[in-house]
Amino acid sequence: MGLLGAPKNIENFVAGRFVQTGKTFTKHSPVDGTVVGRVHEAGQQLVDAAVRAARAALDGPWGASTVPERAGLLRRIADRIEARFEDLVKAEVADTGKPLTQARTLDVARAVTNFRAFADTIAAHGLDSFITELPDGRRALNYAVGKPLGVVAVIVPWNLPLLLLTWKVAPALACGNAVVVKPSEETPSSAAVLAEIMAEAGVPEGVYNVVHGFGPGSAGEFLTTHPGIDGVTFTGESATGSAIMRAVSPRVRPVSFELGGKNAALVFADADLDKAIDGLARSTFTNTGQVCLCTERIYVERPIFDDVVAGLSAAAQAHVPGHPEDAKTTMGPLISAGHREKVQSYLRLAEQEGAKVVTGGGVPLFGDARDHGAWIEPTLWTGLTNSDRTVREEVFGPVAAIMPFDSEEDAIRLANDTDYGLAAAVWTTNLERGHRVAQRMRVGLSWVNTWFLRDLRSPFGGVGLSGIGREGGTHSLHFYSQPTNVCVHL
Ligand code: NAD
């Protein structure tokens, strides 16, 4: 039975209590198709109860909590996550099949950091005040008071479930909100463990609620259309963001959207080739390509094109797919059979569009239970151009198209020729070029000679189809709080 243990009952968490419902769905492991758990799907009534519980918490002592109290609470949550670290690692790995080492060093480690970072941010945060002096001699003091947004719907995807959930819940609680969380149907487990942790840390009843289910016709839609929510923070596909925007539009609720990407890397001939290939390998294949920031378009200056193709192919072939607990494993499966079908449809499309498959293109065969999982080979293509759908649409797998360019202007034009705008990475040893090109990327995050290096105080988000708003440090506080300006005549 190994890591997964016996199938679990994964329950909703409403008003401080775990709640079963009459309706369950089955969550399968993408490693080998075994049953991870039975998830209790929330219906309209339970979503309503969760929203009411959140409102009641805001109307109670939580609504009058102070910043030092909330900063202290966030630190206690971080401490409890550390105490329950391995429980969360197991939950993440059971749902996603990702290597244990990654769950430990990235996913769960970042959950701890998220709560500590926002405890620091809220403790140091102040709002502007002004002395107003009008030409007619009137004077006034203007100052703003931060208030919580209110009941916040938190809807998250499956790729980095706990990391992305806590990236929203930590600042939401820091600002004094109450949340109703809807985890992905593919990754319900860690949000449920986090509910236990919240209770252990002393988070008041109703401040953190979890409802399980799907999007349309299920918990996701019931939550986003609920008249009692004050805003939606969402990470997921751009098309889902669009649907959520329609759902909240009748009541004009604010949204914070971190959506899809079709991110470019630009490799100049003056790049440090070893570092660039190492960086490209990470940016293309990390988490089996299932990170919104992953590179799916690689533009390479023509003189080093063949070297980059050869180097990155070798890196792809060196990946070891395997069991999460095996120390040799470097790549896990895709999240589900359904998602693999989507990725495979792009493997077929790329070939129809005339791609040359440099490496990969298929499904690895193990000759054991893993053949019932959702595995895919890391895949690289050449021969595609920006007019191909494979180069324009987000695949969200360990795949990239490698294409040549001839000049800096050419590279910038090609990289910016996309409806998305989340991230870009520029590889060059020319300092001026690095700054120059990074600044001209039409994205929210632009890296030079690195990828996925994050300071949690810096703005995170995208332009175009990649989202609305920024998260991180005080940028998150702007979404999760509503300032009231007070103007006092002097
Ligand atoms: P998804 O949009 O299918 O689902 C995300 C969440 O939304 C899930 O909880 C799902 O149940 C819910 N949902 C789906 N339809 C809904 C609806 N109509 N109303 C309310 N809720 C609904 O995304 P996914 O497949 O889980 O995640 C992969 C996507 O997330 C990729 O596009 C990826 O780029 C994106 N992503 C973006 C970022 C970022 O920071 N920009 C980070 C991670 C993932």
Q: Are residues 337 and 292 in the same domain?
A: yes
Own/partner contacts of 116-120, CB < 8 Å, gap of 24 or more, are: 116/74, 116/75, 116/78, 117/170, 117/456, 117/457, 117/473, 118/74, 118/170, 118/171, 118/173, 118/174, 118/476, 119/71, 119/72, 119/74, 119/75, 119/78, 119/170, 119/174, 120/71
Residue nearest to atom 26 of ligand 1 (CA): 157
For ligand 1, the distance from its centroid to the CA atom of residue 311, given in whole angstroms, is 33
Whose alpha carbon is nearest atom 9 of ligand 1? 184
Residues 469 and 415 in one domain: no
Instruction: Report phi then psi at 355, rounded to 5.
Output: -70, 145
Q: Tell me how far the alpha carbon of residue 335 lies from the centroid of ligand 1, in angstroms.
A: 13
Question: Do both 160 and 217 map to the same domain?
Answer: yes
Does any ligand 1 atom lie closer than 6 A to the CB of residue 157? yes
As given in the structure block, the two tokens for residue 180 are: 């109703």
pTM: 0.97
- Per-residue pLDDT averaged across 139-155, rounded? 97
If asked whether residues 420 and 364 sit together in one domain, one would say yes
Indicate if the pLDDT at residue 156 is higher than 70: yes
| CA gap 416, 81 in Å, rounded | 40
Model confidence at 489: pLDDT above 70: yes
Strands 379-382 and 231-235, bridge-based pairing? unpaired
Atom of ligand 1 at shortest range from CA of 422: 41
Which tokens is 165 given?
Answer: 């959930």
Strand-strand pairing, 481-489 and 139-148: antiparallel
Residue 1 has pLDDT above 50, yes or no: no
Q: Which atom of ligand 1 is nearest to the CA of 183?
A: 9
Together in a domain, 43 and 99: yes
- Asked whether 240 lines ligand 1 (CB < 6 A), one says yes
pLDDT tens per residue, range 60-89: 999 999 999 999 999 999 999 999 999 999
Residues 146 and 295 in one domain: no
Domain shared by 295 and 255, yes or no: no
- Closest CA to ligand 1's atom 28: 236
403-426 per-position pLDDT tens digit: 999 999 999 999 999 999 999 999
Asked if the model's pLDDT at residue 3 lies above 70, the reply is no
Would 353 be classed as within a structural domain?
yes
- What integer pLDDT is reported at residue 376 of this predicted model? 98
261 Cβ inside 6 Å of ligand 1 = yes
Using a 6 Å cutoff on CB, does residue 422 contact ligand 1?
Answer: yes
3-state secondary structure of 351: helix
Whether residue 240 is found in the same domain as residue 94? yes
Do 315 and 348 lie in one domain? The reply is yes
pLDDT tens digit string along 441-482?
999 999 999 999 999 999 999 999 999 999 999 999 999 999
- Is position 407 within any domain? yes
Domain count, the chain: 2
Task: Answer yes or no: is the C-beta of 215 below 6 A from any ligand 1 atom.
Answer: yes
158 lines ligand 1 (CB under 6 A): yes
- Residue with the smallest CA separation from ligand 1 atom 42 is 292
Active site residues: 258, 292
pLDDT at residue 2, rounded to an integer: 42
Span from the CA of 29 to the centroid of ligand 1 (angstroms): 19
> Does 155 lie in the same domain as 207?
yes
Ligand 1 midpoint to CA 240 (Å): 6
CATH number where 18 lies: 3.40.605.10
3-class SS at 344?
helix
**CA 258 to centroid of ligand 1, rounded, Å:** 9
Q: Is residue 267 part of a domain?
A: yes
**Res 8: pLDDT:** 87
Same domain as 319, residue 245:
no
Domain coverage including residue 333: 263-455
